[in-house]
Amino acid sequence: MRRSTVAALAVSTLALFVASGFDWPIDGGKYRFGFGTPRGVFLRGLEFGSGDGLVRAADDGELAFVSDGPRLPGGYPLSGNSILVLAHASDVSTIYVGMESGSISSYLKNVRRGDVLGRSPEVKAGRGTTVYAFDAKERRYINPMIIMPAQADGKAPVIKSVALSADGLETGIDVSASVRQGTYDLLVDAYDTSPTGAQSAPYDIRVIIDGSERARVVYDAAWASGGVSSLFSARNLSEQSYLAMDGRIRFGPYTFASGRVIITIIVSDYAGNRREQNYSITVR
């Protein structure tokens, strides 16, 4: 497991709860969509299917908040129709959203690792239960995979497509392409296959142009400040600038002069499997 990337978070409490370790709360870690997967917005947790249906506490903790129903006590609409928050000794809280109404163990106060918190709904095309890890000290969501047990994974991520975009027009590049001189955004469609076979987010993406690394993002953290949703502790990108409406991810802008340009995209998953693709661009 790639523990060296954890240091990029620069969160002093992170080492404490990585060392203590958390258990997978649902079905042995067989999540559908991982941290960063486009689910209308950048997913800040792990979304699970039903599995055996039981949602368990990832670690010992104290029940900090629970609401079971379509609205919070103050009347604010509640996405997923339920929420349960456990505060842990490591300054991290785990948040469970979308358990079946009426199944939540709201009578619990002090919770032990493995205690049943509720039940996940049956999921086909809809949404299941989402689990978040929130660092209360730094006020940011952490990729739960960093604190959960490692999983065996031998499949490399997939690079579906890469395109250059300028002035509302796109040019797809498949190994080679020809474009005019100018400034372009680079749109990448890439995914990692989750344990349930769904197209989930990768963990690490690098953009290399003519041998020089021009961008790298590590899916480690997300937060909001001043009304701006920010991603990746090392890059501090805004969600709006990074995630396109169709779910593709955006890098750039990059200015290309006349000649030949080699673009390399490297996509890795949390287990360290990687996919690398080179694209030769003729700029005229």
110 & 201 share domain: no
Above 50 in pLDDT, residue 29? yes
45 & 164 share domain: no
- Does 153 fall in a domain? no
Task: Give the residue among 251, 274, 42, 280 at the shortest CA–CA distance from 159.
Answer: 274
- Largest interatomic CA distance in the chain: 68
Cβ atoms of 141 and 219 within 8 Å: the answer is no
pTM over 0.85: yes
Number of structural domains, the chain? 2
Cβ atoms of 19 and 6 within 8 Å: the answer is no
Residue with tokens 């474009």: 179
CB contact set of 281 (below 8 Å; sequence gap of 6+): 164, 173, 176, 177, 178, 179, 256, 260, 261, 262, 263
138 & 240 share domain: no
pLDDT digit string, tens, across residues 232-277: 998 889 999 999 999 999 999 999 999 999 999 999 999 999 999 9
Task: Report phi then psi at 183, rounded to 5.
Answer: -110, 130
46 & 179 share domain: no
- Does 151 fall in a domain? no
The whole-number average pLDDT for the span 34-60 is: 90
What CA–CA distances, in Å, run from 145 to 121, 130, 135, 173, 248?
22, 13, 14, 32, 22
Task: Give the residue among 64, 6, 62, 51 at the shortest CA–CA distance from 25.
Answer: 51
Provide the CATH number for the domain around residue 26. Answer: 2.70.70.10
Q: Can the peptide bond before residue 253 be classed as cis, meaning omega within 30 degrees of 0?
A: yes
Q: Identify any residues that bridge with 182 across adjacent strands, giving them in sequence order.
A: 256
30 & 119 share domain: yes
| Residue 184 domain boundaries | 158-283
Q: Is the dihedral of CA 207, 213, 215, 217 positive or negative?
A: positive
Last-in-domain residue among 101, 121, 146: 146
Provide the CATH number for the domain around residue 218. Answer: 2.60.40.10
190 & 103 share domain: no
Which residue intervals of the chain are DSSP H helices? Answer: 14-20, 239-242
Mean pLDDT across the chain: 88
Tell me, what's the pLDDT at 9?
44
- Does 152 fall in a domain? no
DSSP 43-86: --SEEE--TTSEEE-SSSEEEEEEEESSB-TTS-B-TTSEEEEE
User: Of 28-42, 70-84, 98-112, 181-195, where does mean pLDDT reach its minimum?
Assistant: 70-84
